[in-house]
Amino acid sequence: MTAAIIDGAAVAARLRSEITREVEQMVAAHGVRPGLATVLVGDNPASQTYVRMKRKACEEVGIQSFGHELPADASQEEVEGLVRSLNADPAIHGILVQLPLPGHLNEEAILNAISIEKDVDGFHPVNIGRLAMKGREPLFIPCTPHGVIVLLEEAGAKFEGANAVVLGRSNIVGMPAAMLLVHRNATVTICHSRTKDLPEVCRRADILVAAVGRAEMVRGDWIKPGAIVIDVGTNRVDDPAAKRGYRLVGDVAFDEAKEVAGAITPVPGGVGPMTIAMLLKNTLRGAELAVSQLA
């Protein structure tokens, strides 16, 4: 079998053009242009790149972006004070605090300070708590796990009663992805570094989501024939032949897996582009919430 390749870049491009249309409709109908504030503390080059990409993506769909940069030694009070001022600013509908924060800052307290109505990353404990509860809906779903679900839908996944295996239990990917799958009535197994017989657990998966950060850990013979595989992992491996000296690979050995799976996401070009598209969608949703409160 050769798997269908799930083209995350194409799905994200489609979403971005829908969002562009909806942003202009909102401006025309309510005179409100969605706005995203980014908060970057320190000068971590990867974080700077992520923030730049997010702000550029905003511009392309007509969302205003407001960049705030604080020095690496900014105090807890300064960062929380900035977040509180953004909470109060009516031009801002989403607040994104780029993680990781410098070690001296209390990340939990800073994320807690974001108004849940502007929590476009979906990391506020109230949003995560609602995601974990039966019959409750979060205001915002975390972007990467939401992208995973959209790609599964795109691949025609039948969630109800499916065996879904999620590799990884982080707050930002594995755990919320598992909760979203439970909401769709899949039977979910969450694996982590202490899981025994990982290949055997994976072989039972109709849906396999890999978010561990270990280059090509999941081999072809771990995959059930016909399974849908979503590879969240983004790992650099040395490659002297590549211009930058490295290339990006996922957590799944793609060449092996594509011979067994029914459908699979590539890395790059799978989940990565979806994360930013879902952030734009959440910012639009933040503006919709603000408009509905004006009515």
Which residues would be at the binding site for ligand NDP (CB under 6 A)?
144, 167-170, 172-174, 191-195, 198, 211-214, 232-235, 271-272, 275
55 vs 169 by CB, closer to ligand NDP: 169
CB neighbours of residue 167 within 10 Å: 31
- State the minimum distance, in angstroms, from the CB of residue 254 to ligand NDP: 14
β-strand pairing of 228-231 with 207-210 = parallel
Q: Catalytic site residue 98?
A: yes
27 vs 198 by CB, closer to ligand NDP: 198
Q: Which member of 98, 119, 251, 258 is catalytic?
A: 98
* Cα–Cα distance for residue pair 179/240, rounded to 1 Å: 40
> ∠ CA 263-269-275 to the nearest 5 degrees?
100
Q: Which member of 54, 118, 224, 281 is catalytic?
A: 54
Q: Catalytic site residue 255?
A: no
Single-letter code of the amino acid located at 287? A
56 vs 158 by CB, closer to ligand NDP: 56
- State the minimum distance, in angstroms, from the CB of residue 133 to ligand NDP: 22
Any idea how long the chain is?
Answer: 295
Beta strand extents in 82-220 (DSSP E only):
94-97, 163-167, 187-191, 207-210
Q: Which member of 119, 121, 231, 251 is catalytic?
A: 121
Q: Catalytic site residue 64?
A: no
CB 36 within 8 A of CB 63: yes
193 vs 293 by CB, closer to ligand NDP: 193
Residues belonging to the active site: 54, 98, 121
